[in-house]
């Protein structure tokens, strides 16, 4: 039976696979980029490294992660660390795209290079943020709610009062899921839908 546990140092490959297989608006993004590793290096692995105390997985019978939630209690501090310490490790592997490259991969890499304190306006009112992804084997069984409840409890214990996340506006299942959990829809960029919640309600 699936079970929930804290992230461990040996989970990186499974975390990256989950991220990849859910990155295309909730569907498998394998092969969309020249290098599938880009997804995990931006959206899950830095959180697991920086904040393992705010990272939990659903694991299968073999104890391999099949879903995760990762979070940071302080978005601006995380973005400063991402910009100064994490992302420079990949500069040679994934250089800044040329200005005339309009591919989705180039846009994602530009996002990574542009991360910095203050870039996410929601951090001013909802200091923490999270990412959550589940493979089909972990979906439809309440694990998503349990993961968010667990990380929310950890954030509350650390003094965090408000949390935000950003989902693809094309991922109807995810949008409905956050609505059901009581998240409030917030002003968003085109193609995205931001949500926020007060952890002390």
In the beta sheet, which residues pair with residue 67?
58, 134
HEC per residue, 97-136: CCCCCCCHHHHHHHHHHHCCCCCCHHHHCCCEEEEEEECH
Domains in the chain with CATH codes: 3-160 (3.40.630.30)
Summarised one tens digit per residue, pLDDT across range 34-47 is 999 999 999 999 99
Alpha carbon 59 to chain centroid distance? 18
* Helix H or strand E segment including 57: strand 55-59
pLDDT tens digit sequence for 138-178: 999 999 999 999 999 999 999 999 999 999 999 999 999 99
Rounded Cα distance, 186 and 195, in Å = 5
- pTM for the complete prediction? 0.95
């Amino acid at each position: 039976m699936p079970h929930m546990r804290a992230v461990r140092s040996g989970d990186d490959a499974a975390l990256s696979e989950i991220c990849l297989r859910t990155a295309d608006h909730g569907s498998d993004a394998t092969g969309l980029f020249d290098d599938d590793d880009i997804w995990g290096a931006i959206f899950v692995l830095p959180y697991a490294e920086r904040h393992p105390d705010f990272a939990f997985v659903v694991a299968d019978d073999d104890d391999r992660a099949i879903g995760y939630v990762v979070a940071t209690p302080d978005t601006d501090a995380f973005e400063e660390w991402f910009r100064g310490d994490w992302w420079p490790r990949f500069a040679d592997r994934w250089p800044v795209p040329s200005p005339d490259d309009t591919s989705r991969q180039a846009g994602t890499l530009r996002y990574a290079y542009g991360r910095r304190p203050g870039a996410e306006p929601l951090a001013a009112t909802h200091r923490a943020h999270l990412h959550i992804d589940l493979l089909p084997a972990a979906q439809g069984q309440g694990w998503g709610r349990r993961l968010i409840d667990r990380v929310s409890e950890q954030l509350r214990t650390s003094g965090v009062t408000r949390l935000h996340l950003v989902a693809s506006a094309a991922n109807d299942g995810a949008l409905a899921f956050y609505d059901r959990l009581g998240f409030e829809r917030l002003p968003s960029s085109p193609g995205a839908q931001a949500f926020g919640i007060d952890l002390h309600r």
